[in-house]
């Protein structure tokens, strides 16, 4: 997937989903879905203009809502389709105005991975600075969307706000864009079991150790992706070697404690068949630890993971971190944690 921070290098024309999209949760995916459908439709029309031998696995144009003239160049008549584009702000507007770094559910690399997985072709990181913040809603549509992104279709959530002092609503966006022949889809808020799906709700669930709730709102397990670095090696001395994970500093961490996890990377497991383990997030009070660490122990596996990038899926919160009277007591508890993980994960 193409990732750009300069509008001068954007692939155009575009079908754009607008928002912050931290988490790429089920609500975000609902906002992105309309541009996926429209762009696929346009591609199908473009493919149908090619020889029959090149037409495979496409949607018949008779079933599409987008007219052919919408994607036909008025200059040379050639068919071009809009690039499926997510446009977001970097840094997060809240970080810009407060001066405090935001902890993110999906740092950039994770956001790219998730967007690429669902079929987005281009991520535009709009540099959020004083100039952008000062644009009126009308100026934002004219300058950013119409002139620079050559947008043909826009999708936003019903609570979307934009422009100077967040003055513009989703309805304002639709009205302004209609003057340029641009259709705006306003997506209703998505709920799960009567609760609105939002990044804030997911953060709250993670802070409370309610992993099942967070994963349900995300539509997938919450993940930690980082590089394995050397630790003190204490786990190996008590029979439970651990891998220390170095995460991006902006990554949002859940409640400190012990978790059932599934782990995968280039040399162990896979997204479809990850390995099982237990993870501790905390300061290791039993050994007088003074800094926060993220470390995991894989069940039934031994090997060198140093330097590898691994992804850990959080599946269940087992217990809060605690200080034990001795290393033997800690070892006994880890054995209990591993047994609980085997039971829960089916190992």
Phi and psi, residue 277, nearest 5°: -170, -175
225 pLDDT more than 80 = yes
Q: Which of 167, 189, 211 is the last residue of a domain?
A: 189
Confidence of residue 48 (pLDDT cuts 50, 70, 90): low
Same domain, 262 and 128: no
Is residue 204 situated within a structural domain? no
Q: What is the pLDDT of residues 176-218, one digit of tens each?
A: 999 999 999 999 999 998 889 999 999 999 999 999 999 999 9
Same domain, 90 and 10: yes
258 pLDDT more than 60 = yes
Token pair, residue 137, equals 């809603």
Alpha-carbon dihedral of residues 16, 179, 158, 99, nearest 10 degrees? 70
CATH number at residue 133: 3.40.50.620
Token pair, residue 257, equals 């404690």
Confidence of residue 288 (pLDDT cuts 50, 70, 90): low
Task: Determine the pLDDT at residue 172.
Answer: 97
Percentage of the chain beyond pLDDT 70 is: 84
Same domain, 235 and 169: no
Same domain, 341 and 262: yes
Distance, CA of 124 to CA of 14 (rounded, Å): 11
Same domain, 35 and 95: yes
Q: What is the pLDDT of residues 51-104, one digit of tens each?
A: 443 433 333 333 334 444 444 544 445 556 899 999 999 988 888 888 888 999
- How many domains are there within the chain? 2
Same domain, 173 and 240: no
Is residue 209 situated within a structural domain? no
Is residue 198 situated within a structural domain? no
* Among 257-261, 300-304, 309-313, the least confident range: 300-304
Phi and psi, residue 92, nearest 5°: -60, 135
Distance, CA of 189 to CA of 211 (rounded, Å): 22
Same domain, 49 and 120: yes
257 pLDDT more than 80 = yes
Token pair, residue 130, equals 């004083």
Is residue 112 situated within a structural domain? yes
- Are 184 and 174 in contact by the 8 Å Cβ rule? The answer is yes
Task: Determine the pLDDT at residue 203.
Answer: 97
Q: What is the pLDDT of residues 95-151, one digit of tens each?
A: 888 888 899 999 999 999 999 999 999 999 999 999 999 999 999 999 999 999 999
Task: Determine the pLDDT at residue 113.
Answer: 94
Is residue 86 situated within a structural domain? yes
Query: Which residues span the domain enclosing 155?
Result: 2-189
Alpha-carbon dihedral of residues 234, 240, 243, 247, nearest 10 degrees? -90
173 pLDDT more than 90 = yes
Task: Determine the pLDDT at residue 55.
Answer: 32
Same domain, 64 and 117: yes
Same domain, 286 and 241: yes
CATH number at residue 272: 2.40.30.30
As a three-state string, the secondary structure of the chain is CEEECCHHHCCCCEEEEECCCCCCCHHHHHHHHHHHHHHHHHHHHHHHCCCHHHCCCCCCHHHCCCCHHHHECCCCCCECCCEEEEEEEECCHHHHHHCCCCCECCCHHHHHHHHHHHCCCEEEEEECCHHHHCCCHHHHHHHHHHHHCCEEEEEEECCCEECHHHCEEHHHHHHHHHCCCCEEEEECCCEECCEECCHHHHHHHHHCCCHHHHHHHHCCCEEEEEEEECCCCHHHHCCCCCEEEECCCCECCCCCEEEEEEEEECCCCCCCCCEEEEEEEECCHHHCCCCCEEEEEECCCCCCCCCCEEEEEEEEEEECCCCCCCHHHHHHHHHHHHHHHHHHHCC
298 pLDDT more than 70 = yes
- Are 135 and 166 in contact by the 8 Å Cβ rule? The answer is no
Residue 283, sorted as left (phi over 0), alpha (psi -120 to 50) or beta, turns out to be alpha
Strand partners, 280: 258, 295
Same domain, 47 and 163: yes
Q: Which of 189, 213, 233 is the last residue of a domain?
A: 189
* Among 5-14, 207-216, 232-241, the least confident range: 232-241
Is residue 212 situated within a structural domain? no
Question: To which residue do tokens 């003057």 refer?
Answer: 179
Percentage of the chain beyond pLDDT 90 is: 67
Is residue 216 situated within a structural domain? no
Token pair, residue 277, equals 């383990």
Same domain, 14 and 143: yes
Q: Which of 144, 165, 189 is the last residue of a domain?
A: 189
Same domain, 232 and 127: no
Task: Determine the pLDDT at residue 51.
Answer: 47
Residue 272 has, within 13 A of its CA and on its CB side, a CA count of 0
Is residue 203 situated within a structural domain? no
Distance, CA of 298 to CA of 290 (rounded, Å): 24
pTM, two decimals, is: 0.86
CA–chain centroid gap for 77, Å, is 37
* Among 72-76, 273-277, 330-334, 336-340, the least confident range: 72-76
Question: To which residue do tokens 């709250």 refer?
Answer: 204
Question: To which residue do tokens 């090997």 refer?
Answer: 303
């Amino acid at each position: 997937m193409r990732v750009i921070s300069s509008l001068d290098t954007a692939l155009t024309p575009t079908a754009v989903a607008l928002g912050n999209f931290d988490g790429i949760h089920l609500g975000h995916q609902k906002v992105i879905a309309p541009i996926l459908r429209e762009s696929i439709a346009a591609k199908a029309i473009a493919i149908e203009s090619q020889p029959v031998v090149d037409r495979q696995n496409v949607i018949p144009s008779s079933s599409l809502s987008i007219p052919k003239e919408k994607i036909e160049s008025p200059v040379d008549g050639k068919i071009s389709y809009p690039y499926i584009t997510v446009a977001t702000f970097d840094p997060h507007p809240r970080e810009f105005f407060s001066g405090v770094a935001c902890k993110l559910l999906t740092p950039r690399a994770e956001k790219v991975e998730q967007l690429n997985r669902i079929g987005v072709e281009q991520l535009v990181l709009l540099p959020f600075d004083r100039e952008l913040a000062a644009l009126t809603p009308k100026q934002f549509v004219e300058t950013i969307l119409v002139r620079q992104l050559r947008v043909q279709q826009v999708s936003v959530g019903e609570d979307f706000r934009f422009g100077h002092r967040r003055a513009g609503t989703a309805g304002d966006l639709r009205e302004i864009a209609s003057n340029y022949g641009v259709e705006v889809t306003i997506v209703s808020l998505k709920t799960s079991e009567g609760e609105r799906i939002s990044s804030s709700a997911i953060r709250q669930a993670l802070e409370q150790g309610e992993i099942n709730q967070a994963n349900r709102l995300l539509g997938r397990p919450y993940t930690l992706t980082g590089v394995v670095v050397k630790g003190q090696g204490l786990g190996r001395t008590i029979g439970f070697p651990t891998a220390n994970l170095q995460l991006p500093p902006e990554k949002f961490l859940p409640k400190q404690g012990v978790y059932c996890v599934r782990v995968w990377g280039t040399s162990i497991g896979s997204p479809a068949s990850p390995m099982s383990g237990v993870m501790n997030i905390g300061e290791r009070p039993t050994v007088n630890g003074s800094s926060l660490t993220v470390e995991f122990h894989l069940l039934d596996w031994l090997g060198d993971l140093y330097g590898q990038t691994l992804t850990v899926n959080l599946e269940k919160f087992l217990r809060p971190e605690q200080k034990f009277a001795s290393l033997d007591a800690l070892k006994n508890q880890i054995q209990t944690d591993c047994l609980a993980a085997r039971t829960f994960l089916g190992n």
